[in-house]
Amino acid sequence: MTVRLGIGIDREGALLALPDHLPPEFRELEFSGEMLDSSTARRRVNRFAPDRLALSVHDLVPPELARLVPTQKLALQLEFTKLFRARCRRAAELKAQEIGVSFDLETAFGDARYAAELMRLLRACWGILAEFRLTLRFSLRLPPEPGKPELSRFVEFRRSCLCPAVAFALELHPLEPGMARLNKEALKPLRFCNELWRLEFSMAERRQVDFEAVNRVLKESGELLPGPRRVILAPAWFNGEERQLKSLVNMAAPLLGKQEVAIPEEEEGGLLLC
């Protein structure tokens, strides 16, 4: 299994602090949708042109807006569509190929009215995705919390969209206790849609992440992929410094089939953010 590594940036300050040349292990750069409204951030992203790094957008619109808008009046839904289109256009101008949105699929499974409004909203987005040649990725949190819908429900919803430009971003929280339950049988419903994973943790907790366990989960999810498996490291409170980037690459070495090298904390440069 070949893994292609990426780095996720959730704050504009961290984006601006990135060195001009990232460690070669990073092949992708992911940034948040709000940065598309900042000309300074867009200029910075543009320096990582797609001939150097593949670009993608996480949370194209704020998650709280994406989850609430299906319950709102038509006027607000139209405003959402305008925002969606404007940010898709800017993402395409930067030559990004994918966008992520955190729609509330779980509520849709239990509320028929919400589901109908969500699907109507999504249908208004299909043409925008086609216009700008973008793929929309639904966020899917792993491991599932107790009492949450089965993974197969999410896969069925994706199929019901009848849109080829829809996929998942599997958001893995490696410090949650449910990691041990993510075995081959549990992950079976995702065997055809597990090409992109996001590892979510904070820089303060980075030393607690067991990347060998993460690697096990990736392998047990199956290898029926047309290309490399993509893994985005998305640490909260990452400040963009080169030393932090190198530290993250070193810790993620098991995903790349390499050996992690012990680095003294004082050489990692401001990593402890407790």
Would strands 3-9 and 166-172 be described as parallel, antiparallel, or unpaired?
A: unpaired
Whether 225 and 259 have beta carbons less than 8 Å apart is answered as: no
| pLDDT over threshold 80, residue 264 | no
> What gap in Å lies between CA 126 and CA 164, rounded to an integer?
9
Burial 92-125 (b: 16+ CB within 10 A, else e): bebebbbbbbbbbbbebbeeeebbebbeebbeeb
Q: What percent of the chain has pLDDT over 70?
A: 93
Give 267 or 178, the one with higher predicted confidence: 178
Task: Give, as one character, the DSSP assignment of residue 50.
Answer: T
Q: How far is CA 11 from CA 14, 34, 115, 138, in A?
A: 5, 9, 32, 21
User: Once rounded to an integer, what is the mean pLDDT over residues 62-82?
Assistant: 95
* 86-117 pLDDT tens trace: 999 999 999 999 999 999 999 999 999 999 99
CATH no. for 3-267: 3.20.20.150
| pLDDT over threshold 80, residue 143 | yes
Task: Return the C-alpha torsion angle 15, 19, 20, 26, nearest 10.
Answer: -80
What pTM value is reported for the model?
A: 0.91
| pLDDT over threshold 70, residue 45 | yes
User: Once rounded to an integer, what is the mean pLDDT over residues 115-128?
Assistant: 95
| pLDDT over threshold 80, residue 259 | no
> What residue segments make up the domains of the chain, in order of their start?
3-267
